[in-house]
Amino acid sequence: MSFDASSSVNLITNTYKRNAMRLLILCICSIFFSKQVVLGQEDQECKLNLSLFYEAGKKKDYDAAYEPWMATRKKCPKLNKAIYIYGERILKDKIKKTSKETKTDYLNDLLKLYDESMVHMPRYFKVGATLAKKAQLKYENSVGSNDEIYLDFDRAYTQDAESFRSPRRLYYYFESLYKSYQEKGSKITVKEVFDKYEDLKEKFELEHAKLVSSLDKIDKKEKAGEPLTKGDFNIKKVKELLQLFEKNMDKLIEGLANCDNLITMYTKSFDKNKENTTWLRGAAGRMVAKECTSNPLFVKIVDAYYQLEPSAESAGFLGDFAFKKKEYKKAKTYYEESAQLHEVNIKKAKMYFNIAQVEMIRGVKSSARNYAHKALAQQPNHGKAYLLIAKLYASSANDCGNDVFEKKAVYWVAEKMAIKAGQVDPAFKSDALKDAAHYKGNAPSKQDIFVKGYKGGEVIQIGCWMNTSVTIPAI
């Protein structure tokens, strides 16, 4: 047998390689398993701390929750969304309780937590909603200028308007712009303020529209006497907040909404928005509210709105304009159309009352009374409608009745309507009592009744267009 040196060297080399590979694999496995053990231990520790801060948080014992929460946040930021939900509550509690110096640290940490929530759990913490929370925190704690805070809100809205839904934050968004506009040397124009106002008005409408079907179901539940769930009450609360903060936004804009500003702004914006029904409706409504309807621009806006959307509002605006120009027949036509298109009883009542006023001016008293009664059918507490009917009756005292007594007796009918106005609508009680006293003073006196030979409780007919009756009061 001969000795092959080359084969021996190869054998030794291969054996060495196999052993080295085994050693490497063993080392890797050892490191992997040791890491798994460490990770497993950390995971168990995080879960324990999660449980500790969660239970303490539920009891609102935020001091006890702080340390286990902080440990979980640092080691396992992706473990559970409770880290960010309860973390917000814990830090807000710290902000509320601590001194001014320490408060700043906790404020900054909460801002940092909001950022972490978007990084580690974007599924639950959307960009728009979370950035808006950050802006709200700064706003409520005066962190930064109004301009800086507005830009924070604007980033939230621009990046993700869909999840930016909080009524309070939407209002703060506008208010921070408004405050910035009011500051001395501000570069923000009145047009920018109005543009943002119109944008957010549309957003409020959109958010309210999202609740309509749910509110309808809640309304049916309430009518059926069924108990409401916690979710139902939350939806009702959101509706109330939308209404509240939209009204607050309207109040802010009122300071800027004078005719000169409106006309200047809307003249520049009309061509760009002449096919935008939302813009046209808002512009027309604001010009009516500020009595800018005599300007030709109002006609352009309303006519464009009506051509695009012959709605209750646009017909009503055209009716207002025709009324101002004393084109009463045209006004009546538009008001009638508006009343037919309106679905809300109070708005229908307003249009019918407008027609009653038109007919009274035209001297068509019977028609005026009929439309006043139509208004009352839609809104039984419409005090102004009763006052209008009383005025119609009083104005006919010299035209109705066979003799002086019967003519004066018409004032009793007018007095009755005036008293009714004060009864159904306390807001008009003072005016109603004054009118009633005036009518009573013109009605037949006790001596007139005695001379005529009537007794209290007797009924006399009043013909003419009124076609009614009146009871003689007791002497």
**Mean pLDDT computed over 217-236:** 92
- What is the model's pTM? 0.58
Contact 475, 458 (CB under 8 A): no
**Mean pLDDT computed over 5-13:** 51
pLDDT value of residue 195: 85
Domain boundaries, the chain: 162-256, 381-475
Q: Give per-residue pLDDT as tens, 87-133.
A: 999 999 999 998 887 899 999 999 999 999 999 999 999 999 999 99
pLDDT value of residue 37: 38
pLDDT value of residue 275: 92
pLDDT value of residue 29: 44
Which range among 26-30, 441-445, 457-461 shows the weakest confidence by mean pLDDT? 26-30
Predicted confidence band of residue 2 (pLDDT cuts 50, 70, 90): very low
Closest CA to 395 of 428, 435, 355, 425: 435
Predicted confidence band of residue 24 (pLDDT cuts 50, 70, 90): low
